[in-house]
Amino acid sequence: EAGVTQSPTHLIKTRGQQATLRCSPISGHTSVYWYQQALGLGLQFLLWYDEGEERNRGNFPPRFSGRQFPNYSSELNVNALELEDSALYLCASSRGQVSFREQYFGPGTRLTVT
Amino acid sequence: KQEVTQIPAALSVPEGENLVLNCSFTDSAIYNLQWFRQDPGKGLTSLLLIQSSQREQTSGRLNASLDKSSGRSTLYIAASQPGDSATYLCAVSSQDQAGTALIFGKGTTLSVSS
């Protein structure tokens, strides 16, 4: 069984540009979570999608957005990039909401904003 | 608001030692607790998941315990090996944020020398 996959592995953008990150969950998983891991800040919850709908978001500005497609893959968009958006972005999937299910993580996308 | 703390932040041990990593959380109303391993610049690997009704889980040389009433969990690693060197993260699924996301501690970075 294939694990959670993310693309690209690395992404370098300039301040003010837009970044698009992609995630494919494990087959059969309907929930996708996005987390940001910035240096020194630990893992912070960004967004949760389930069955194509945004269910909740963390304490991040609206320029962080995304969507979930009918095949349950997901896209994270970051608009008007700022230097502090440089971080490892991790996607995770679970079979339903994480309250009751184990969460599996992808390898991450390293975003660097210059 | 749920908060997760991990102590110590870093730990260095010689190969072969048994060791304990600590995790504490402020609100005992959790669904489950997960321990993860993260290698530098990589994604997270799930090690053990303990449901709130369970006291412990074991996998190979790893044993995780949960004391929900006191808000504590420990990860015991037996006969440590250099390959165990990584950052270990503790995360809880909190009932006050049902389905939202896991809430992570900042991790303990373990270094095992040969």
More confident residue, A11 or A94: A11
What is the mean predicted confidence (pLDDT) over B80-104? 85
Whether residue A84 is predicted with pLDDT greater than 60 in this model: the reply is yes
Share of residues in chain B with pLDDT > 70 (%): 96
Q: Write the DSSP string, B79-107.
A: S--GGG-EEEEEEEEEGGGTTT-EEE---
- A-B CB pairs within 8 A amount to 67
What is the mean predicted confidence (pLDDT) over A21-32? 94
Q: How far is Cα A104 from Cα A94, in angstroms, rounded to an integer?
A: 6
Residue type at position A75: E
Share of residues in chain A with pLDDT > 70 (%): 94
Tell me which chain B residues have a C-beta less than 8 angstroms from the C-beta of A103.
34, 46, 102
Enumerate residues 6+ apart whose C-beta is below 8 A from A13: A19, A81, A111, A112, A113, A114
Range of weakest confidence among A22-31, A54-63, B13-22, B95-104: B95-104
DSSP class of residue A25 equals P
Question: Can you give the pLDDT at residue B10?
Answer: 96
CB atoms within 10 A of CB B55: 10
Q: How far is Cα B84 from Cα B15, in angstroms, rounded to an integer?
A: 10
Residue of A nearest to B44 (CA): A105
Whether residue A88 is predicted with pLDDT greater than 90 in this model: the reply is yes
Whether residue B99 is predicted with pLDDT greater than 60 in this model: the reply is no
Question: Can you give the pLDDT at residue B100?
Answer: 61
Residue with tokens 């809430």: B103
Question: Can you give the pLDDT at residue A98?
Answer: 55
Question: Can you give the pLDDT at residue B42?
Answer: 86
Q: Identify which of B42, B43, B100 has the shortest CB distance to residue A48.
A: B100
pLDDT in tens, B53-88: 999 999 999 999 999 999 999 999 999 999 999 999
When pLDDT is cut at 50, 70 and 90, the band that residue A56 belongs to is confident
Q: How far is Cα A90 from Cα A86, in angstroms, rounded to an integer?
A: 13
Question: Can you give the pLDDT at residue A42?
Answer: 85
B64, β-bridge pairs: B57, B75
Name the E strands within chain B: 4-7, 10-14, 19-25, 30-38, 44-51, 56-59, 62-67, 72-77, 86-94, 102-104, 108-113
A77, β-bridge pairs: A20, A65
Question: Can you give the pLDDT at residue A102?
Answer: 78
Question: Can you give the pLDDT at residue A1?
Answer: 66
Reference B107, options B37, B43, B57; nearest CA is: B37
Whether residue B105 is predicted with pLDDT greater than 80 in this model: the reply is yes
Interface test with B, best of A9, A43, A91, A109 (most B CBs within 10 A): A43
What is the mean predicted confidence (pLDDT) over B39-65? 93
